[in-house]
Amino acid sequence: MGVLYPCFCTRKDIAAEIARSPSAPHGPDGVLYPGTCRRLSAAEQRVRIDAGEPYALRLDVQAALGRVDAPLTWYDRHAGKVIAQPESLGDVVLARKDVPTSYHLAVVVDDHLQGVTLVTRGEDLFAATHLHRLLQELLGCETPDYEHHPLLLDEEGKRFAKRDTAVTLAGLRADGVSPDEVIETLRTGRMAWTTSARA
């Protein structure tokens, strides 16, 4: 489809390129990839690939948008109808150097293959849905509805994470937290209890 290009940049390369640009574009997760490898000619790409240089595959978002009918939309149970703005995430990686896919591509394909009609996930992934909507259109996938729920936060307002030995359901049961308290927490995103239940 002509919407992917090999990217040979390391994180260090990208940081250096961004540092040289006083007005680097920003997206919801910070500074966007500056498109360094998008500007390589096909001949330059081939030389580097043939030399065995590792590379990822990035989506050329502008080229991809040129292949679909705009505007793309999706429905979120909290936000209502949303107009997709995948360009806000820049040219994201769809296949990494170490594995043949990325989160973005994997979830779109998995949801399609499994016939998922409602994707429920944390609001921290709301922005990613703009890109997922573009990938669905490119791949001919159905668009599910979405529900991006508030994140579960601890007493200090920090989101639960495994790396921080966050509260687990097993730990909550052991501490005597009721199912109704858990449901209220899921509904509001704020803990309805004080507990020491850790992973």
Indicate if 97 belongs to the active site. Answer: no
Could you say which of 12, 97, 158, 162 is catalytic? 162
Give every strand in the sheet of 93-95, ordered side by side: 4-7, 56-59, 93-95
Calculate the alpha carbon distances from 175 to 60, 153, 171, 172, 195 in Å: 50, 18, 6, 5, 7
Nearest-10 crossing angle of helices 128-139, 103-113 = 60
Q: How many C-beta neighbours within 10 Å does residue 145 have?
A: 13
**CB-based contact 192:155 (threshold 8 Å):** no
Q: Mind telling me the catalytic residues? A: 162
